[in-house]
């Protein structure tokens, strides 16, 4: 049984919004907010597949313990997932390798059938966060991209953040981007499947070793629609120099002499309006780069006065208190609660949830804005409008990608 995470336990999206605005059943089904995959009491909703390792509830964790001579064991969700966002904490004995299966299957679709599919690596040897094909071809992360790193904290809790959307799998470990993998072949063979917690097999006369998981949360992205097709500007309108790139991203490269931000026609505007939604977008900026994400804009010719802007700005070096004009801030309304800016040329991910008057913004995995629009300077703004990306003029060359939206009816 899945249950909606309470506000105090979700770092990304306050479920109080969902309880106020949507029935609980609609919340889980439509993937607006995060749900707990582990109820903190028992292993309801999970089934063990393969191996004889043991799984049990220990406080607020799922404890997996090796069994001497056992092959790999997996505790797997009964529900299957395709496009999703997954977060969990894990702590593992240094002697044990582990992993979390995503979009995985069992041969013959029975618990005894060999588990196979993508696995997000849990290891102390510098490969944590890379993607392995368990009984499915070996390493999915290419050899040249599988460089050892030190983001995994031995003997401590580690925070994983995984986004799987189409053939792309992205992994962050303790807030650091580790893997950004596009694997069309594995997506075609494993477009959907269970989430599985692995206890790796060990030889005889070794162990026992332990691995623990907690705060296992998932947001279903299966009903999100892509706003940018990665090829052309279908569905958008602009007079600006927005250039589709070969890697599927979209570059705004202001032309010679195009300066300043009041060139509203050069912004990239959606052709249709949106009311209640979750907007998910990634972007990278140059040093000092400036842009913005606009939404509920009634008139694209005057977005400042008829819409709402979430600031996009390289605030990565700022040490002073943040203002509404810093990265993630809502102009004229709210400053971000935390500086989550990544360094220039790294990808940032912003998730804007706007339902009724309730606005929340996540930036790089942390909720930084939670406001009621009808209680501030935006109280007279429309509840429906266009979505836009800002062309701030030279020298603000930015790239955008993975622009997707969930409309909340």
Q: Are residues 251 and 341 in the same domain?
A: yes
Given a cut of 70, whether residue 170 has pLDDT beyond it is: yes
Residues 331 and 323: beta-carbon distance below 8 Å = no
Cβ atoms within 10 Å, residue 407 = 14
Q: Are residues 146 and 229 in the same domain?
A: no
Q: What is the pLDDT of residue 3?
A: 35
Is 2 contained in some domain? no
Q: What is the pLDDT of residue 142?
A: 97
Question: Looking at 220, 239, 266, which one is the last position of a domain?
Answer: 220
Which residue has tokens 């893997």? 179
Q: Which has the closest alpha carbon to 88: 9, 167, 145, 33?
A: 9
Q: Which has the closest alpha carbon to 353: 37, 10, 81?
A: 10
Q: How does pLDDT run across 29-72, given as a tens digit for each residue? A: 345 789 999 999 999 999 999 999 999 999 999 999 999 888 89
Q: How does pLDDT run across 117-141, given as a tens digit for each residue? A: 999 999 999 999 999 999 999 999 9
Residues 333 and 371: beta-carbon distance below 8 Å = yes
Q: How does pLDDT run across 231-284, given as a tens digit for each residue? A: 999 999 999 999 999 999 999 999 999 999 999 999 999 999 999 999 999 999
Specify the CATH number for the domain of residue 124: 2.60.120.560
Q: How many CA atoms lie within 13 A of 318 on its CB side?
A: 19
Q: Buried (b) or exposed (e) across 168-198, using 16+ Cβ within 10 A?
A: bbbbbbbeebbbebebeebbebbebbbbbbb
Q: Are residues 384 and 307 in the same domain?
A: yes
Torsion of CA 56, 62, 68, 71, to 10 degrees: 110
Give, as one character, the DSSP assignment of residue 187: H
pLDDT tier for residue 10 given thresholds of 50, 70 and 90: very low
Q: Are residues 153 and 76 in the same domain?
A: yes
**Cβ-Cβ contacts under 8 Å for 8 (sequence gap 6 or more):** none
Q: How many domains does the chain have?
A: 2
Between these two residues, 26 and 97, which has the higher pLDDT value?
Answer: 97
Given a cut of 50, whether residue 6 has pLDDT beyond it is: no
> Residue 63, exposed/middle/buried by CB under 10 A (0-12, 13-18, 19+)?
middle
Q: Are residues 314 and 339 in the same domain?
A: yes
In the chain, % of residues over pLDDT 90: 87
Question: Looking at 187, 220, 253, which one is the last position of a domain?
Answer: 220
Cβ atoms within 10 Å, residue 217 = 23
Q: Which has the closest alpha carbon to 350: 299, 393, 401?
A: 401
Is 12 contained in some domain? no
Q: pTM to 2 decimals?
A: 0.87
Q: Are residues 391 and 254 in the same domain?
A: yes
Is 342 contained in some domain? yes
**Cβ-Cβ contacts under 8 Å for 398 (sequence gap 6 or more):** 251, 252, 283, 284, 285, 286, 289, 291, 312
Angstrom distances, CA of residue 343 to CA of 253, 261, 292, 318, 394: 20, 23, 17, 11, 20
Q: Are residues 213 and 264 in the same domain?
A: no
Q: Are residues 199 and 232 in the same domain?
A: no
SS3 call for 127? coil
d(CA 409, CA 406): 9
Written as one string, the DSSP assignment of 274-308 is E-SEEEEEEEE--TT-EEEEEEEES-TTSHHHHSE
Q: Are residues 200 and 312 in the same domain?
A: no
Is 353 contained in some domain? yes
Cβ atoms within 10 Å, residue 262 = 10
Residues 100 and 196: beta-carbon distance below 8 Å = yes
Mean pLDDT taken over the chain:
91
Q: What is the pLDDT of residue 282?
A: 98
SS3 call for 20? helix
Cβ atoms within 10 Å, residue 286 = 14
d(CA 289, CA 305): 23
**Cβ-Cβ contacts under 8 Å for 45 (sequence gap 6 or more):** 1, 2, 37, 39, 77, 78, 79
Is 63 contained in some domain? yes
Torsion of CA 382, 384, 387, 388, to 10 degrees: -20
Q: Are residues 212 and 259 in the same domain?
A: no
Between these two residues, 347 and 7, which has the higher pLDDT value?
Answer: 347
Q: What is the pLDDT of residue 32?
A: 72
Is 17 contained in some domain? no
Is 196 contained in some domain? yes
Is 3 contained in some domain? no
Q: What is the mean pLDDT of residues 182-195?
A: 97
Q: Are residues 191 and 332 in the same domain?
A: no
Range of the domain at 376: 225-407
Question: Looking at 170, 201, 220, which one is the last position of a domain?
Answer: 220
Q: Which tokens belong to 324?
A: 């509404």
Q: Are residues 212 and 240 in the same domain?
A: no
d(CA 150, CA 153): 8
């Amino acid at each position: 049984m899945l249950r909606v995470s309470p506000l105090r336990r979700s770092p990304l999206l306050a479920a109080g919004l969902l309880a106020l605005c949507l029935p609980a059943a609609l919340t889980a089904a439509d993937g607006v907010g995060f749900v707990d995959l582990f109820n903190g009491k028992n292993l309801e909703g999970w089934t063990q597949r393969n191996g004889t390792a043991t799984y049990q509830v220990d406080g607020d964790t799922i404890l997996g313990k090796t069994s001497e001579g056992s092959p790999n064991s997996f505790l797997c969700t009964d529900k299957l997932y395709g496009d999703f966002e997954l977060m969990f904490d894990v702590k593992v004995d240094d002697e044990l390798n582990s992993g979390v299966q995503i979009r995985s299957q069992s041969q013959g679709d029975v618990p005894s059938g060999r588990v196979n599919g993508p696995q997000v690596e849990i290891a102390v040897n510098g490969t944590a966060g890379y993607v392995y094909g368990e009984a499915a071809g070996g390493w999915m992360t290419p050899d040249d991209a599988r460089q050892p790193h030190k983001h995994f904290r031995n003997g401590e809790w580690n925070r994983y953040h995984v986004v799987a959307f189409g053939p792309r799998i992205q992994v962050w470990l303790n807030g650091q981007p580790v893997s950004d993998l596009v694997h069309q072949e594995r997506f075609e063979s494993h477009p959907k499947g269970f989430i599985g917690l692995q206890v790796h097999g060990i030889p005889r006369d070794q162990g026992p070793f332990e691995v623990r998981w907690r705060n296992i949360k998932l947001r279903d992205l299966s009903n999100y629609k892509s706003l940018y097709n990665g090829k052309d500007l279908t569905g958008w309108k602009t007079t600006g120099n927005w250039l589709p790139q070969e890697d599927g991203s979209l570059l705004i490269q202001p032309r010679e002499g195009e300066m300043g931000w009041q060139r509203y026609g050069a912004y990239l505007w959606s052709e249709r309006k949106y009311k209640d939604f979750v907007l998910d977008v990634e972007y990278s900026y140059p040093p000092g780069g400036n842009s913005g994400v606009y939404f509920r804009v009634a008139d694209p010719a005057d977005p400042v006065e008829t819409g709402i802007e979430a600031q996009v700005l390289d605030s990565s070096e700022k040490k002073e208190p943040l203002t509404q004009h810093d990265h993630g801030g809502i102009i004229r309304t709210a400053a971000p609660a935390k500086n989550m800016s990544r360094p220039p040329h790294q990808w940032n991910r912003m998730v804007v949830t706007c339902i009724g008057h309730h606005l929340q913004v996540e930036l790089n995995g942390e909720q930084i804005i939670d406001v009621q629009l009808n209680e501030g300077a935006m109280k007279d703004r429309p509840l429906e409008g266009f979505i836009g990306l800002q062309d701030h003029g030279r020298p603000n060359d930015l790239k955008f990608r993975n622009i997707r939206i969930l409309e909340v009816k």
